[in-house]
Structure 1
C-alpha cells in the first residue's frame, strides 16, 4: 500500500511541476518547466551521494579504521542481497544515520559518532539494516528526485514572482499569484509525505533484514531523544537532506502530520513491536554502547585512548 501511495505522491509532485509551469507561462512555460525538471533530476541522480556526504563532512571508513562496523554492515548487506555499500562516519554528537546513492551499486551509509556512542550492537544493526532497506528499495534515488523537484518548484515560483509569466495562453494574473504562493507549500507537503511513507517500509524491511525489529524500535526511541536534545549544525545548514536521516535531525517539527519529514516515532515503534510479535521475537536488546565492554565508551564506541572497534 505504501508503494502505491508513494507512486501516486511522486506523480502528483511531477504534475504539480507542470501546473506551476503552465500557471506562470502557459503551454510554453509548462514544457520549459518539465525540461528544467529533467535536467535537475539528471544532475541530482549523478551527484546526490557526493553532495549529501560532503554537506555533512562525512569521513569514509574501511576495514582497517572501523573493523567491527565494516564487518557488521557487510553481514547485513549479504543478508539483504546487496553489494557492500561504502561506509562513512559523521563527526556529529547528534545520534543519527542516513543512506544515499543512485542505486545499490553506487550507495553509501553514514552513521554518526553520537549514535555509535549510545547504541548497542543489536540496535546499531537495526539502524544499519533500516538504511540498507532504503538502498534496496531505491528510496535514496526517490528521495533525491522528490527533493529536487520540490526545490525546483520553489525556485520556479520565485522566478515567476520576480519576472512574471510569459507564454501562449497568458494565464490569468490571479492564477499566477496563487501558483507562486501555494505551489512551494504543496510541493513540500508532497515531498514530506513521500518521506514518511518510505520510512515505514524501511522500518519493516530493516527489521526483517536484522531479525530484531525490537532492537530497531529501541534504537529509534534513543535516537529521537538524542535528536531532541542535541543540535545538528550541518543538517540545519542543509535542511534539504533532513528526509534522508532515520530520525528528523532538525530542531522541532516532530509531529506526525503533513508538515513533518518523518512519521511520529511512537507510531514507528508500535509497528515494529507488532512485527516483532509476528516474527516471535521477544528478547530485549542488551544494554551497553557499541561493541566494547568493560570501559566507558569513547566517541567512536570503543575503549578510551587509541583506536576503538569503530575506528577513530
Structure 2
C-alpha cells in the first residue's frame, strides 16, 4: 500500500501543478474575451493570485461550506470519532477533522491539502441508512483518499470550478444593462455565456483531474484497511439507492464538490452518465465482492449478476437523528 501511496502522490502533484496552470489560463482567457484592457489587467492578476492562494490554503473550507456542513465534537458523534480514530491508527496516519452536512441525500467525501490538514464529511442521510460495519467501509474509502494524497488535487479542482463559475456570475452582474436586466449589455451577455460554458468546463476539469480509477483504488485500499470489502459493497448499494430516492438539489457549490463524493449525488440520466465522475456502482460492487472472495472465500451473487450483500437490512443505523 505504501508503494501505491508514493505513485499516487507523484501523479497528484503533477495534476495539481497542471490545474493551477489551467486556472491561470482560463482567468487570462476571460480577461482577453472582455477586451484585454490594461486597465483591468491588474484586477485579473489579483484574481489569479487570490484564487491560487485560496485554492491551496482554503480549498477544504470551500468544499465544507458548499455543503453547509458543520464540525462536530466527539461528544456529539462518539461512534463516528471511534471508527475514524481506529482506522487512522491502523493506517499509522493522523486523524482528520469530522464534519456532518445537514442533507438527507446519503453521501460522504474527504477534503484538505494534506493528511495533516484534512477533513471527512458525512451527510445526515448516510448516517441514517448505514449500519456501523457499512459506515466503517465508507470511512475507510474516504481515509484512503486522504492517505493516497488524492484530496489536494480534488479540493483544488473543486475550488477552481467554484471560482471560475462565480467569476462568470460577477461578469454577468456588473457587465452592463439596467438594474432589471443585468445581462442586456455586451459584457453582461458575455458573462451569461461564460457562466453557462465555464461551469460545465469546470466540472469536466474535475473529471479529468479525478479519474474513475481513483475511486476503484480507494475502494480497494479502503477495503484492505478495514479488511471488509463486503461492508463497502453493501454501503455502495444502499447509497446508490438512497441517491436515486433523495438526490441533492444541484447548486454552484455542490456541483463543484460532487466529484469528491463517494457516489455521484445527483440523479444522472442518459447523456449525463457519459460524463459521470464516478464509475458504475455495479462495477464497483462486483470488484469488491471479487475481492471479498479472494480475501475470505465468500461471495453471494444474485441471478442477474449483481452481488447481493446478505446483511443489507440488518442492524441499526449509526444515528437515528442528526447530531446524536
**TM class by shorter-chain length?**
0.7 to 0.9
Shift of 1:299: 8.6
For 2:144, what is the secondary structure of its paired residue? Answer: helix
Aligned CA distance change for structure 1 residues 16 and 136 (closer, same or farther; 3 Å): same
Write the mapping of 1:74-223 to structure 2, written as runs, cut at 5 A: 74-150=85-161, 188-197=203-212, 198-223=214-239
The aligned length equals 287
Corresponding position of 1:271? 287
Partner of 1:167: none
* Cα distance in structure 2, aligned partners of 1:108 and 1:254: 33
Tell me: CA distance 1:185–1:89, structure 2 relative to 1, closer, same or farther (3 Å).
closer
What is the root-mean-square deviation in Å for CA atoms of aligned residues? Answer: 4.0
In 1: Cα distance, 2:99 partner to 2:169 partner:
36
- Structure 2 matches for 1:51-66, cutoff 5 A? 51-66=62-77
Alpha-carbon offset, residue 223 of structure 1: 0.1
Residue by residue over 1:211-249, the C-alpha shift from the partner in whole angstroms, topping out at 9 and shown as x without a partner, is 111210111111011001103247676311111211111
Residue equivalent to 1:168: none
Q: C-alpha distance in 2, partners of 1:124/1:299?
A: 8
In the alignment, structure 1 segments of 5+ residues that lack a partner are 164-179, 303-309
How big is each residue's C-alpha offset from its partner over 1:160-180, in whole Å with a ceiling of 9 and x where there is no partner?
A: 9999xxxxxxxxxxxxxxxx7
Is 2:82 the partner of 1:71? yes
Q: Corresponding residue for 2:319?
A: 300
Tell me the SS of whatever aligns to 1:111: strand
2:306 match: none
Counterpart in 1 of 2:241? 225
**What TM-score comes out, normalization by structure 2 length?**
0.70
Q: Per-residue deviation at 1:115?
A: 1.4
Residues 72 and 54 of structure 1, relative CA distance in 2, 3 Å threshold: same
Distance 1:101 1:142 in 2: 9
Q: Deviations over 1:174-227 (max 9, x none)?
A: xxxxxx798765553342133343222211111111111121011111101100
Aligned partners of 1:24 and 1:222: how far apart in 2?
46
SS across alignment from 1:238: helix
Aligned partners of 1:125 and 1:142: how far apart in 2? 24
Taking the aligned partners of 1:145 and 1:118, their CA distance within structure 2 comes to 30
Shift, 1:106, TM fit: 1.5
Give, in whole Å, the separation in 1 of the partners of 2:133 and 2:270: 25
Alignment partners' CA distance in 2, 1:267 and 1:235: 28
